[in-house]
Structure 1
Amino acid sequence: MSKNSSVGQVEKLKKLIQTATNPKQKAMYQDLLAKLQDTLPPESLSEPTPEPVKPKRTIKPKTSAPVEAVEPVEDKTPAPTVPDSQPETESQPETESENKPYFQGIGIIKGEVILTEERSVIKLGEQEYRLFYIPNRRKKAYEALKREIEVTGNTTLRLIVYPKILHLPQKDQPHKVSFQLVGFIGSKAKPSELNTELKDFEFKFSGLWQFIPVCRTPCISIFRNFNKERLTWIKEANPAKKVKFMKSSHVPVLWRDSPAKPFRFNPKLEKEEQGKRYFVQIKAKFLPGRDVFGFAEQLSEPTEEVPGFLKASKKLKAEALKEIQQQKSEENPSVEATPPQTKPNSKPPKSKPKKQKTLQPQTITSDKTE
Structure 2
Amino acid sequence: MSETQCKTHGELIRSRQSGHGMPGELFGRQDVFETDIKVFFHRHWILVGVTADVPEPGDVSVVDIGKASIIIVRDDDENVRTYRNVCRHRGARLKEVGKSTVGMLVCPYHQWTYDLDGSLRHASHMGKDFDSTCRGLMPVHTKIVGTHIFVCLAADPPEDIAKLEETMTPRFAPYDLRNTKIAFEQEIIENGNWKLVIENNRECYHCAGTHPELTASFLPEDFGFCPDTLNEEALRALDEYKARNAACQASWEQDGFVSAPVERLDEDAVTQFRTQQLVIAGNGESQTLSTRVASTRLLGNLQRRDLGDMHLWTHNSWTHVMSDHAVISYIIPLAPDKTLVRSKWLVHADAVEGVDYNVSDLTEVWIATNTQDKHLVEITHEGTQDPAYTPGMFSPFTETYVDQFSRWYAARLSAHGI
TM-score range for the pair, normalised by the shorter chain length: under 0.3
So what's the TM-score if we normalise by structure 2?
Answer: 0.20
So what's the TM-score if we normalise by structure 1?
Answer: 0.22
Structure possessing the higher radius of gyration over alpha carbons: 1
Structure with the larger helix share: 2
More relative contact order, 1 or 2 (CA 8 Å, 6+ apart):
2
